[in-house]
Amino acid sequence: MPLPLLALAVASFGIGTTEFVIMGLLPNVAADLGVSIPSAGMLVSGYALGVVVGAPILAILTSRLRRKTALVALMALFIVGNILCAVAPSYASLMAARIVTAFCHGTFFGIGSVVASGLVPPSQRARAIALMFAGLTLANVLGVPLGTALGQWAGWRSTFWGVVAISVLAELAIIIWVPKGGEEAPSNLLSEFRVVRRPQVLLAMGISVLASSSLFSVFTYITPILQEVTGVSPHGVTLVLLLFGVGLTIGNLLGGRLADWKLMPSVIGIFCALVPVLAAFSFTSAWFIPAVITIFVWGVLVFALVAPLQMRVVDEARGAPNLAAILNQGAFNLGNASGAWFGGIAISSGLSYTAIPWVGVVLALAALGVTLLSTTLQRRQTQRQQAEMECGMA
């Protein structure tokens, strides 16, 4: 891995750890701050909404900065946010600190993906984005379990101090290894917003929302599904989620290669494979081995979409890659929040846990439909342009 990509991957590892580790520390946080576990669970939703709201705000604030300067500033904000989390004296102050931390999330991944794609030849851009996002997937495999174990042993605040240490290393690595990119000029925010309004850019972001919503409509409730339907112990759930994280990591790297090969055909193919896997999970969840296999394959497929969808937005938003890539991170997190909401509605309506995967199926089919629409419109536009060129030559 080139050193600049390694620096971005370390940073994404720290960001991914602080985002997801709170789920493993909810009982500790709730007991220490004197709130209920459902109230502590709002720290997860608060972070996701902070990403959605913070993405456009930070996009505006960093629009006049060079990309490396923006990355350094964003990582500094992330460090401050985690320090505030570690010393938060109350639930309200911890929520505020989580939101401050979340603000830099979407902007860092958005600008970072543009920087990563510019570090390699054009034929390897999606793989470079996937390598940066590998830090996020490894956070689920290593960061969350280790952070949870540290928090249970030394107190939940120690986990955030650990993230601060990782983030300081990432900050130094970005300063030393990421090139300055002196050829880039500060962006014109108004012109970038015009580019983001292009139909293909909006369709690509819509696919990101639906794909993420499909994932979180099921993943949010994976623990009760495994415990109440599959009959897995709490310790066993941890191991299954660890395997799911391995699947995410493999899928992320696979998706980068597929996108560099054939981007939109790969996205269509992944959705076509994802739908039957999710449908099968409603049946395989009743038995341990089939459920584990299904969850692993699901993890591979669902994260194979991340790099291609981010690359699609960057490709279609030529002239405004920073803003589009940042807003697409907000789109992913909007999908996170809406997916959990859709799954919750299904449960509140009286559906059993075995029916939850069908919510993911419906959302994945909707994402596939938008993908096919985008591809069809692009094909027609290409054909029209070719016809106009031929008429002009004649």
pLDDT at 1: 63
Q: Specify whether the CB–CB gap between 22 and 44 falls below 8 A.
A: yes
Identify the pLDDT of residue 333: 82
| pTM for the full predicted model | 0.81
Alpha helical stretches, state H, 285-355 = 288-303, 306-316, 321-348
Q: Which residue has the tokens 């999970």?
A: 281
Specify the amino acid at residue 275: V
Which of 343, 230, 337, 344 has the alpha carbon at shortest distance from 281?
Answer: 230
Q: Output the pLDDT for position 265.
A: 94
Distance between CA atoms of 153 and 149, rounded to whole angstroms? 6
Closest CA to 232 of 95, 353, 69, 377: 353
For the chain, the straight-line distance linking the first and the last C-alpha, in angstroms and rounded, comes to 50
pLDDT, position 394 = 59
Set out the domains of the chain in order of their start, with CATH numbers: 7-179 (1.20.1250.20), 187-394 (1.20.1250.20)
Q: What is the pLDDT of residue 392?
A: 67
How far is it, in rounded angstroms, from Cα 235 to Cα 206?
A: 37
pLDDT of residue 367: 96
pLDDT at 188 (0 to 100): 63
Task: Name residue, tokens 């490709």.
Answer: 315
Q: Give the pLDDT of residue 182.
A: 47
Q: Can you give the pLDDT at residue 122?
A: 84
* Neighbouring residues of 95: CB distance < 8 A, sequence distance ≥ 6: 42, 43, 46
Taking alpha carbons only, the member of 341, 339, 261 closest to residue 302 is 339
What is the chain's alpha carbon radius of gyration, rounded to the nearest angstrom?
Answer: 21
pLDDT per 10-residue tile (average), the chain, 394 residues = 89 91 81 82 81 84 86 95 95 93 89 88 87 87 84 91 96 92 57 80 94 89 85 82 88 91 93 96 94 95 92 82 82 84 84 91 96 92 76 67
The encoded tokens of residue 338 equal 């809406």
CB 304 within 8 A of CB 259: no
